[in-house]
Structure 1
Amino acid sequence: MSFYTSLSGLQGSQTELATISHNLANVGTNGFKRSRVEFGDVIASTTTKSPNQLIGSGSYVKSIRQQFAQGGLQQSQSSLDLAISGEGFFVVKPNPNTTELAFTRNGAFSVSADRFVVDSQGATVQVFPVDGSGTVVATGLDDTVSLRLPQTSGTPKATSAAKVSVNLSANASIPSADPRWTAASPYAFSRFDPNTYNYASSTVIYDSVGNPNTLTNYYVRETAPGGTNTNSTWKVYSFVGGQQISADPTQPTPPVALDMTFDSNGVLQTPAGPTQYATFTPPNAAPQDMTVDFSIATTQRPAAFSIIAQSQDGEPIGQLQGVTVDSSGLVKASFSNGTNQALGKVVLAQFANPQGLRQIGNSYWSVSGLSGDATPGQAGEGGYGNIMAGAIERSNVDITEELVGLIAAQRNFQANAKAIDTETQLSQTIINIRS
């Protein structure tokens, strides 16, 4: 009988050794929870057996109980690395084609090629849908959605009006009067030759699809005050990208340059208001009409050339620039056009009996009959804990504690093996007596 009693001890010690080995093997696994073996004693008792004469029949493994104590938090540089300070679980969907959910404490998330927020196994993070103000609009597990980062935000608006104010130096020379130009090589404006213009200014405008284009204006002095002439005249050649646009909407080709006139005090006389340019077509966009207003604050002073002010009314599409997650789990995306968008609130789940969850590997758990159904909630609510962005929860395995347990399990195994050896010797002695 003692053979089987000691054998049960050996089997229990083997189970404990295997459990401790599994714990030690996952010291570096994010979100891992250690397990502990719990034993029970085996007693064969009958109503006719005296309680003072009962002898146990060994031990058995009652359960391998998971320990959900908080693991240490390690800081990281990623805003999508999340840790739960509390008892909740992240909810992920391992397969987007099914409704099956898994639960994890491993918050090392990243962005997939199709812009879903996923863990290292490719499971998508689940969030509650929210409205524009970040208020949750549905709170059931069936209502959760996979978190996906939008690539753009907003609606593009083509520039229809631009304003450019510059100071053109009153001391500037007239490029066409430069003696280097001869009959054999006459003067002609070229945006590629700085000797053919005095100054250039650039303004970013937007086309119908929100792409930025550069409006470049080249300023060329035509005349200076002299004799009975007290005015100064300039020509402005305007280009959108590499395409010259005409300052006369009735004559798109060949493009016409804009004429500017200043009086003897450097005050702009013409144009007196916005100039309507001929329709032009940016690359890969719709035809565009635009006015440019040089009449506000443009001057001709002895000071150096300079841009006084410039503006335009177009709007680009916002490109994704960053993602943040606050302590309540609200995910917000920021875009290059200055807008922010609430994308969802990270779902946390609780269980009546977390120790009853079924381990399915990769720091995942699934619901079982022992755990009870998942109760979804939000960070900051009772018992769910808070979310910490830029941190990862490490394994809660204590190496020192596990090594001490490993030594104890080894001693238990050796003691049970010794008991079997002793029983073998006793049996052999009895057999030898009979012979």
Structure 2
Amino acid sequence: MSFYTALSGLKASQTDLAVISNNIANVGTTGFKRSGTEFGDLVSSSPMQSSGIAGQGTRLRGIAQQFTQGGLESSERSLDLAISGQGFFVTRASNSNGQVSYTRNGAFSVDANRFLTDSAGAYLQVLPTDTKGAVTATGLSSARSIQLPLTSGTSKATQTIDLSVTFPSAGDVPATRSTYSTSNPYKFDRTDPNSYNQSTTTTVYDAAGNAFPMTTYYVRENLPSGTTTDTNWTAHTFIGDTEISYDSSAATQPAPLTLTFDGTGAKTAPSGTINLGPLTPNGASAPLEFSLTYSGSTKMAASPFTLTSFDQDGYAAGQLDNVSVGADGLIVATFSNGDSQALGKIILANFSNPEGLRQLGDSKWGATGLSGEPIIGEASSNGTGQIQSGALEQANVDITEELVALIQAQRNFSANAKTIEAANTMTQTIVNLRT
């Protein structure tokens, strides 16, 4: 009987060594939780049995994982997530069975279809939210896989333009203006640089977010002389290849805008906002209509021609620029046009008995009858921890503790082996007895 008693001890020590080896092997595995062996003694009992009996060895009662908090290591990726406190991320397999699993490994990335996935390709699950980030549905049945948008999906047509220009007081009248007369009042050709002094090019947008170049050519019309102290400049503005008419009553061709400056260089006209349009350049989804204002800082001075400022309120649909995750699990996408969009709130799951979870590998677990049903919630609520972006949870393995346990398991194995050796010696002695 002592052979089998010692053999159970050998097997127990082997199992203990295997568990400790697994802990040590996964000391660098993100989100790994160490395991511990639990043993119980074996006693053959019956109703009439005496209390003074020897046991029959040991047996493995179970291998229990310890879900204590691992250390957090900083990362430079916003999609590296760690849970500070209780809870598990929820993922769903990308294959047809869509298996739901739970993990503490927050090393998420973006796949070819722009879904957030874990290292095994399973989709991170989130709860839907409104535009302000408030959850609109709860429970695991409402969870969905999160997909990052490429664009903001919103655009705005240009409705207001405010600009400021400094005109050079030393600017000459273009040579082509020598042929100017009342019968030929618009002697201007955008393809002839000799017909204008300066030009500026900026961008405006239609309702679909299509961008169009807005080019303005400035022409000096006169030089002050005698009693004439005012100076006039005309502005010929094109959106694409279509010229804007600043005078809707012009019958033959678009009329330019006249800017007037007094002898000190101060702008005297136009004095207010100019409403323009509708104008439909080639490729526009809808006519453009906007108000144009030359601000009070527009002037004529002894300095080079300068477009001092240009502001317009239109924009195209922005490209995805950044993704951030808040401590409450809210995922927000920021776009190049300044838009931001709430994409969803990360689900955290809790269990009444986490030790009852079934190991699936890759730092994942599955729910069982022993663990109980998952309690789904948001971060920082119902006992769940906070989510920390730019960090990963390391294994909760203490290498020093494991090495000490390894030595102890090795000694236990050697002691049980010695027991078998002693039992074998006793048996051999009995066999060798002679009458």
TMscore range, shorter length? 0.7 to 0.9
User: How far has the Cα of 1:286 moved from its partner?
Assistant: 2.3
Aligned in 2, Cα 1:98/1:288: closer, same or farther, shift over 3 Å?
farther
| Residue in 1 that maps onto 2:258 | 260
Q: Which 10-residue stretch deviates more, 32-41 or 106-115?
A: 106-115
| Residue in 2 that maps onto 1:183 | none
* Deviations 1:204-242, CA, capped at 9 Å, x for gaps: 31133214343232323243233676554434343446x
SS of 1:384's partner is coil
Percent sequence identity is 45
Letter of the 1:260 counterpart:
T
SS of 1:61's partner is strand
* Deviations 1:84-138, CA, capped at 9 Å, x for gaps: 1212111111226445310001111222232222211121111122223322222
Q: Is residue 206–residue 288 contact of structure 2 (8 Å, CA) maintained in 1?
A: no
Q: Is residue 245–residue 277 contact of structure 1 (8 Å, CA) maintained in 2?
A: no
Q: Is residue 247–residue 278 contact of structure 1 (8 Å, CA) maintained in 2?
A: no
Aligned in 2, Cα 1:333/1:354: closer, same or farther, shift over 3 Å?
same
* Deviations 1:275-329, CA, capped at 9 Å, x for gaps: 746844355x425434563665485523423335533342322333222222222
Q: Is residue 199–residue 219 contact of structure 1 (8 Å, CA) maintained in 2?
A: yes
Aligned in 2, Cα 1:379/1:275: closer, same or farther, shift over 3 Å?
closer
Where do 5+ consecutive residues of structure 1 fail to align? 179-186
- Tell me how large the CA RMSD over aligned residues is: 3.2
| Residue in 2 that maps onto 1:170 | 169
SS of 1:15's partner is helix
Alignment of 1:6-405 (within 5 A): 6-52=6-52, 54-95=53-94, 97-153=96-152, 155-176=154-175, 197-226=196-225, 232-240=231-239, 243=241, 245-247=243-245, 258=256, 260=258, 262=260, 264-265=262-263, 266=265, 267-269=267-269, 274=274, 276=276, 279-281=279-281, 285-286=284-285, 288-290=287-289, 293=292, 297=296, 299-304=298-303, 305-405=305-405
Letter of the 1:245 counterpart:
E
Q: Distance in 2 between matches of 1:378 and 1:263?
A: 64
Q: Is residue 236–residue 257 contact of structure 2 (8 Å, CA) maintained in 1?
A: no
User: How far has the Cα of 1:394 moved from its partner?
Assistant: 0.4
Q: Distance in 2 between matches of 1:269 and 1:200?
A: 20
Aligned in 2, Cα 1:272/1:383: closer, same or farther, shift over 3 Å?
closer
| Residue in 1 that maps onto 2:411 | 411
User: How far has the Cα of 1:151 moved from its partner?
Assistant: 2.6
Q: Is residue 222–residue 232 contact of structure 2 (8 Å, CA) maintained in 1?
A: yes
SS of 2:432's partner is helix
* Deviations 1:17-36, CA, capped at 9 Å, x for gaps: 11111111110111100000
Q: Distance in 1 between matches of 2:60 and 2:367?
A: 22
Aligned in 2, Cα 1:6/1:191: closer, same or farther, shift over 3 Å?
farther
| Residue in 2 that maps onto 1:182 | none
SS of 1:55's partner is coil
SS of 1:83's partner is strand
Aligned in 2, Cα 1:164/1:282: closer, same or farther, shift over 3 Å?
farther
Letter of the 2:104 counterpart:
R
Aligned in 2, Cα 1:396/1:282: closer, same or farther, shift over 3 Å?
farther
Q: Which 10-residue stretch deviates more, 243-252 or 71-80?
A: 243-252
| Residue in 2 that maps onto 1:181 | none
Q: Distance in 2 between matches of 1:33 and 1:102?
A: 15
Q: Is residue 163–residue 309 contact of structure 2 (8 Å, CA) maintained in 1?
A: yes
Q: Is residue 235–residue 260 contact of structure 1 (8 Å, CA) maintained in 2?
A: yes
Q: Is residue 249–residue 277 contact of structure 1 (8 Å, CA) maintained in 2?
A: no
Aligned in 2, Cα 1:329/1:96: closer, same or farther, shift over 3 Å?
farther
Letter of the 1:138 counterpart:
A
* Deviations 1:233-280, CA, capped at 9 Å, x for gaps: 434343446x4635379999x985725253654545579863746844
Q: Distance in 1 between matches of 2:67 and 2:367?
A: 15
Q: Distance in 1 between matches of 2:125 and 2:350?
A: 15
User: How far has the Cα of 1:3 moved from its partner?
Assistant: 1.4
Letter of the 2:319 counterpart:
Q
Aligned in 2, Cα 1:289/1:334: closer, same or farther, shift over 3 Å?
closer
| Residue in 2 that maps onto 1:3 | 3
| Residue in 1 that maps onto 2:182 | none
Letter of the 1:352 counterpart:
S
Q: Distance in 2 between matches of 1:45 and 1:259?
A: 109
User: How far has the Cα of 1:174 moved from its partner?
Assistant: 2.7
SS of 2:403's partner is helix
* Deviations 1:347-387, CA, capped at 9 Å, x for gaps: 11111111110000010000112111111112222421222
Where do 5+ consecutive residues of structure 2 fail to align? 178-186
Aligned in 2, Cα 1:46/1:72: closer, same or farther, shift over 3 Å?
same
Aligned in 2, Cα 1:298/1:27: closer, same or farther, shift over 3 Å?
closer
Q: Distance in 2 between matches of 1:120 and 1:282?
A: 48
Q: Is residue 94–residue 124 contact of structure 1 (8 Å, CA) maintained in 2?
A: yes
Aligned in 2, Cα 1:275/1:231: closer, same or farther, shift over 3 Å?
farther
Letter of the 2:67 counterpart:
F
Q: Distance in 2 between matches of 1:39 and 1:143?
A: 42
SS of 2:56's partner is strand
Q: Distance in 1 between matches of 2:107 and 2:117?
A: 9
SS of 1:412's partner is helix
Q: Is residue 328–residue 380 contact of structure 1 (8 Å, CA) maintained in 2?
A: yes
Q: Distance in 2 between matches of 1:143 and 1:385?
A: 21
Q: Distance in 2 between matches of 1:196 and 1:324?
A: 52
SS of 2:433's partner is helix
Letter of the 1:149 counterpart:
L
